[in-house]
Amino acid sequence: MQAVVVYGPGDYRLESKPIPVPGTNELVMRVESVGICASDYKCFTGAPKYWGDDSRPPLVQRGITPGHEFVGVVVEAGPGGLAHHGVQEGQRITAEQIVPRGDDRYIRRGQYWMAEDTTIFGLRVFDGAMAEYMLIPAEARVHRVSSSVKPEHAAFAEPLSCALHGIERADIHFEDTVVVAGCGPIGLGMIVGARAKSPKSVIALDLSEKKLELARLCGADTTFNPRDVDVVQAIRDLTDGYGADVYMEATGHPSAVVQGLELLRKLGTFVEFSVFSAPVTVDWSIIGDDKELDIRGAHLGPYCWPSAIRLIEDAVLPLDRICSHQFPLEKFDEAIAMVGALDSPSVKVSLLFE
């Protein structure tokens, strides 16, 4: 089979590899589609978070096949594999990006997404989906997806589950004004999730008019482009001068952190999902002395996969617009480049297998 193999930053190669053979409680899946994440781009371009620096060891393993947002069809099972994962041959499945294994306090307490051993498909230990076939190990958390949706739409379950987990962290109330900063795949998923919680108002912020249009299709009541509008003032005007109740940061830009601290009301909630390429500097006293804010992190999409899959199967999102670009496996490098291109016309870029 053909598979992308990681050799180093900027050096990923398409190679022939043997089709994996499933062992006990394992499956082999024929990949139908794999989405390309901003993190794939950051890894490809050598971000220290993935390749290590003075303060941290590398996260990504040379020789691994990348790709953690995938969907495919079960084509083979090792002994016990079908029963173990609750699937049948020919069924379409996806699996959570993290493969929790071993025994640590997080796994024991059901907080598996924080497992000490960060084995994420396509990063370490377990090969990802930029290949014609992929091994699903015993520890994988497998979910079934209807075969009636397009493969690239089905693979959107990964970013959508992450977005929904961010929303769960936000603890939204009916009278809340929720601001989502950044309308990429995660931000759009957060808008859908926030809308499903029925707050008073969902406001989306982005520099791209096209993405703001998508935000409205996903359920945003109001959209602002910070290029044209003083966003902090505009949101105060909409909230009797108080500011927003909840701020969801999904841009990865330091300026969006400063903006969020400014536009939140006192006792508001700030949810951070992004990965930043540089440290962020803010007046930290806003959090305590000025506003007594709740600052919450969010990582991966624990316990949100069934909801994400249901939203996709129910066609709640404009996925034909969100899944904007599809490439064949051979053009993986073009696809990764498109994800990182400045002012890229893409929202979600995917590889699509015939």
Does 71 participate in binding Zn ion (rule CB under 5 A)?
no
SS (H, E, C) the chain: CEEEEEEECCEEEEEECCCCCCCCCCEEEEEEEEEECHHHHHHHCCCHHHHCECCECCCCCCCCCCCCEEEEEEEEECCCHHHHHCCCCCCEEEECCECCCCCCHHHHCCCHHHCCCCCECCCCCCCCCCECEEEECCCCCEEECCCCCCHHHHCCHHHHHHHHHHHHHHCCCCCCEEEEECCCHHHHHHHHHHHHCCCCEEEEECCCHHHHHHHHHCCCCEEECCCCCCHHHHHHHHCCCCCEEEEEECCCCHHHHHHHHHHEEEEEEEEECCCCCCCCCCCHHHCCCCCCCEEEECCCCCCCHHHHHHHHHCCCCCHHHHCCEEECHHHHHHHHHHHHCCCCCCCCEEEECC
Provide, rounded to whole angstroms, the least separation between the CB of residue 39 and Zn ion: 6
The smaller minimum CB distance to Zn ion, of residues 5 and 37, is found at 37
Considering the complex, state which of residue 37 and residue 220 has its C-beta at the smaller distance from Zn ion: 37
Give the residue with the Cβ less far from Zn ion, 31 or 203.
31
Number of residues interacting with Zn ion: please give it, by CB under 5 A.
1
Report, in Å, the least distance between residue 43 CB and Zn ion. Answer: 11
Instruction: State which residue, 3 or 37, has the beta carbon closest to Zn ion.
Output: 37
Least separation, in Å, of the C-beta of 58 and Zn ion? Answer: 19
Nearer to Zn ion, 37 or 319 (CB): 37
Q: How far is the CB of 94 from Zn ion (least distance, A)?
A: 12
Residue number with the smallest Cβ distance to Zn ion: 37
Residues 18-57 touching Zn ion, rule: CB under 5 A, are 37
Q: Minimum CB separation from Zn ion for residue 349, in Å? A: 12
Nearest distance in Å: CB 72, Zn ion: 16
Residue placing its CB nearer to Zn ion in the complex, 142 or 203:
142
Binding characters for Zn ion, 138-157, by CB under 5 A (x = yes): --------------------
Binding residues for Zn ion, rule: CB under 5 A, are: 37
